[in-house]
């Protein structure tokens, strides 16, 4: 049985190479590797895998989750940990083991892979999976390594998938048309975990799309790190979606320099609604230091304009607080964001997931309910200063591109509510029963 817990903060648990990422919105993402893993296990005759996803079941609180798990029949329990919740995940497992002595528990995800030494020495967790979980379960079932083409279409019927909605309430399911990335930016958590870039056979991707559309997906988000890495593949996929008259809106993440007008026209005709892309920094020396080649500014500006002219939304990612960042360079990054002018921006705190000595890591290295580790990286800026810049830039951008009222609502009011929520959760001191009561009283 796979269990995906919820602790009062919305987490996209397969983001950041399965380290997970805190969301400040209410949209709910599926955990695709969990669904893939259960789907693979169910292809074996003697295994029946089920998923209890607290998010999909109306955000089951931890005390109720512990009660339900302790009453269910299963042989093994798999819980994927995330950086933002690892302390709560470990406490949840401890409580499940108290409620159900002898229960065999496996953890998965990059966070517990990094913490394997600590988990083995300090908990009674029975097994830690240190590779992508779908690869592990494929080998368990078939006795051999599986490629991305060997993976079956994710069986979304294993969960209440209609609960996976975007901020407009549309059913949004996720897929992989490829995994990993050939670009090799030295801070990237995806390539650290997934290794070499793997494209999925277009026939299989098309099967996956058909299946999700038949289930009622209104939006498909391709979780590929570099969707248009091979343009011919994507041309083929889009043309076949058009020929089959598949009606679905979709989202992808890619490198802007890989887009050209003909390709974008085809993608748009096939349902493309949003392109996400990384710019990361406005300082080319910093990008070069991390082997991060996101393309020329002039090209990024032109591509965003082209996408906008064709009615496609754009979302850009920026990183604030690289070790080399200064007040000047982070402001350059903000000005770069302004110049590129995407519809949506996402400023994130720089954090490293490349640990020199994993054996000495403890859960304290990960900030609770935040998207970073506790390791201070910047030589010039404190964590407080980096977070100030992120809040300020987010507000300035929203005010400039939308309006001041929206900046007040999203960047001040909702952000303060989120911070207050986290403050109250942290006050529960990882007591999951107290936390559940507090969250229940609030609703
Ligand atoms: S381009 Fe993005 S996905 Fe690719 S290596 Fe760099 S950070 Fe990772």
From first to last of the 443 residues of the chain, give the pLDDT tens digit. 999 999 999 999 999 999 999 998 889 999 999 999 999 999 999 999 999 999 999 999 999 999 999 999 999 999 999 999 999 999 999 999 999 999 999 999 999 999 999 999 999 999 999 999 999 999 999 999 999 999 999 999 999 999 999 999 999 999 999 999 999 899 999 999 999 999 999 999 999 999 999 999 999 999 999 999 999 999 999 999 999 999 999 999 999 999 999 999 999 999 999 999 999 999 999 999 998 888 899 999 999 999 999 999 999 999 999 999 999 999 999 999 999 999 999 999 999 899 989 999 999 999 999 988 888 777 899 999 999 999 999 999 999 999 999 999 999 999 999 999 999 999 999 999 999 999 998 76
Q: Is the CB of 188 under 6 A from ligand 1?
A: yes
Tokens 């070069």, located at residue = 288
Within a domain: residue 330? yes
Are residues 154 and 182 both part of a single domain?
no
Closest ligand 1 atom, CA of 184? 5
The CATH number of whichever domain residue 61 belongs to comes to 3.40.50
Within a domain: residue 412? no
Q: Is the CB of 191 under 6 A from ligand 1?
A: yes
Q: Is the CB of 313 under 6 A from ligand 1?
A: no
| Residue having the nearest C-alpha atom to atom 7 of ligand 1 | 188
Closest ligand 1 atom, CA of 181? 4
Are residues 248 and 356 both part of a single domain?
yes
Within a domain: residue 425? no
Q: Is the CB of 183 under 6 A from ligand 1?
A: yes
How far does the chain reach from its first CA to its final CA, in angstroms? 29
Single out the residue of 115, 57, 58 nearest to residue 85, CA to CA.
Answer: 115
pLDDT digits (tens, 9 = 90+) for 256-295: 999 999 999 999 999 999 999 999 999 999 999 998 888 8
Within a domain: residue 153? yes
Are residues 193 and 112 both part of a single domain?
no
3-state secondary structure labels for all residues of 106-172 = EEECHHHHHCHHHHHHHCCCCEECCCCHHHHHHHHHHCCCCCHHHCCCCCHHHCCHHHCECCCCCEE
Within a domain: residue 94? yes
Are residues 264 and 154 both part of a single domain?
no
Are residues 226 and 119 both part of a single domain?
no
Mutate to test the pocket of ligand 1, among 15, 19, 180, 181 (most ligand atoms within 8 A of CB): 181
Q: Is the CB of 276 under 6 A from ligand 1?
A: no
Q: Which domain holds residue 301?
A: 168-401
Are residues 50 and 160 both part of a single domain?
yes
| Residue having the nearest C-alpha atom to atom 6 of ligand 1 | 185
For the CA atoms of 64, 65, 70, 72, the dihedral, rounded to the nearest 10 degrees, stands at 110
The last residue of one of the domains, among 164, 181, 213, is: 164
Mutate to test the pocket of ligand 1, among 183, 196, 224 (most ligand atoms within 8 A of CB): 183
Within a domain: residue 386? yes
Q: Is the CB of 278 under 6 A from ligand 1?
A: yes
The last residue of one of the domains, among 164, 180, 195, is: 164
User: 380 burial class (0-12, 13-18, 19+ CB within 10 angstroms)?
Assistant: middle
Q: Is the CB of 432 under 6 A from ligand 1?
A: no
What is the per-residue DSSP string for 303-342?
Answer: HHHHHHHTT-EEEEEEEE--TT--HHHHHHHHHHHHHH--
Task: Work out how many domains the chain is built from and give that number.
Answer: 2
Task: Indicate the pTM of the whole model.
Answer: 0.95
Beta bridge partners of 22: 11
C-alpha distances in Å from residue 223, one per residue of 147, 301, 320: 17, 24, 23
pLDDT at position 443, please? Answer: 66
Are residues 160 and 255 both part of a single domain?
no
Beta bridge partners of 3: 52, 79
CA of 284 from ligand 1 middle (Å) equals: 16
Within a domain: residue 258? yes
Beta bridge partners of 106: 78, 127
Q: Which residues contact 17 (CB under 8 A, 6 or more apart)?
A: 110, 188, 189, 190, 191, 192, 193, 194, 353
Are residues 120 and 250 both part of a single domain?
no
Closest ligand 1 atom, CA of 190? 8
The CATH number of whichever domain residue 314 belongs to comes to 3.20.20.70
| Residue having the nearest C-alpha atom to atom 1 of ligand 1 | 183
Closest ligand 1 atom, CA of 292? 6
Are residues 172 and 158 both part of a single domain?
no
Are residues 378 and 390 both part of a single domain?
yes
Q: Is the CB of 321 under 6 A from ligand 1?
A: no
Are residues 130 and 230 both part of a single domain?
no
Within a domain: residue 317? yes
The last residue of one of the domains, among 114, 143, 164, is: 164
C-alpha distances in Å from residue 212, one per residue of 175, 177, 208, 247, 361: 9, 13, 6, 11, 40
Are residues 130 and 188 both part of a single domain?
no
Element (DSSP H or E) covering residue 178: strand 178-179
């Amino acid at each position: 049985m796979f269990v995906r817990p919820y602790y009062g903060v919305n987490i996209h648990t397969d983001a950041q190479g399965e380290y997970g990422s805190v969301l400040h919105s209410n949209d709910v993402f599926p955990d695709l590797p969990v669904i893939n893993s259960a789907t693979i296990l169910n292809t074996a005759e003697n295994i029946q895998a089920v998923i209890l996803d607290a998010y999909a079941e109306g955000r089951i609180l931890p005390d109720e989750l512990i009660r339900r798990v302790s009453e269910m029949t299963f042989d093994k329990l798999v819980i994927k940990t995330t950086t933002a919740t690892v302390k709560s995940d470990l406490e949840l497992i401890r409580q499940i083991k108290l409620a159900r002595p002898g229960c065999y528990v496996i953890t998965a995800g990059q966070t517990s892979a990094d913490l394997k030494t600590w988990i083995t020495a300090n908990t009674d967790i029975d097994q830690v999976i240190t590779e992508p979980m779908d690869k592990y379960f494929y080998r368990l079932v078939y006795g051999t390594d599986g490629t991305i083409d060997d993976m079956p279409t994710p069986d979304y019927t294993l969960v209440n998938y209609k609960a996976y909605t975007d901020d407009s309430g549309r059913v949004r399911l996720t897929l992989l048309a490829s995994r990993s990335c050939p670009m090799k930016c030295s801070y990237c958590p995806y390539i650290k975990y997934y290794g070499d870039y793997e494209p999925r056979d277009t026939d299989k991707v098309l099967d996956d799309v058909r299946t999700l559309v038949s289930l009622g997906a209104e939006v498909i988000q391709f979780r590929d790190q570099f969707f248009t890495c091979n343009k011919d593949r994507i041309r083929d996929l889009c043309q076949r979606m058009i020929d089959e008259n598949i009606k679905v809106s979709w989202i992808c993440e890619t490198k802007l320099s890989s887009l050209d007008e003909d390709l974008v026209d085809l993608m748009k005709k096939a349902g493309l609604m949003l392109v996400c892309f990384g710019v990361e920094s406005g300082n080319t020396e910093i990008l070069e230091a991390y082997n991060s080649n996101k393309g020329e500014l002039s090209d990024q500006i032109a591509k965003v304009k082209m996408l906008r002219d064709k009615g496609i939304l754009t979302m850009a990612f920026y990183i604030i607080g690289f070790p080399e960042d200064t007040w000047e360079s982070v402001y350059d990054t903000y000005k770069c964001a302004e110049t590129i002018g995407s519809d949506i921006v996402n400023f994130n705190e720089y954090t490293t997931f490349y640990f020199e000595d994993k054996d000495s890591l403890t859960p304290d290295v990960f900030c609770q309910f935040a998207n970073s580790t506790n390791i201070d990286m910047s030589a010039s800026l404190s964590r407080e200063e980096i977070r100030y810049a992120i809040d300020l830039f987010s507000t300035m951008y929203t005010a400039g591109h939308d309006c001041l009222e929206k900046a007040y609502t999203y960047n001040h009011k909702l952000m303060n509510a989120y911070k207050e929520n986290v403050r109250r959760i942290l006050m529960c001191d990882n007591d999951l029963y107290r936390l559940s009561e507090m969250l229940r009283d609030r609703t």
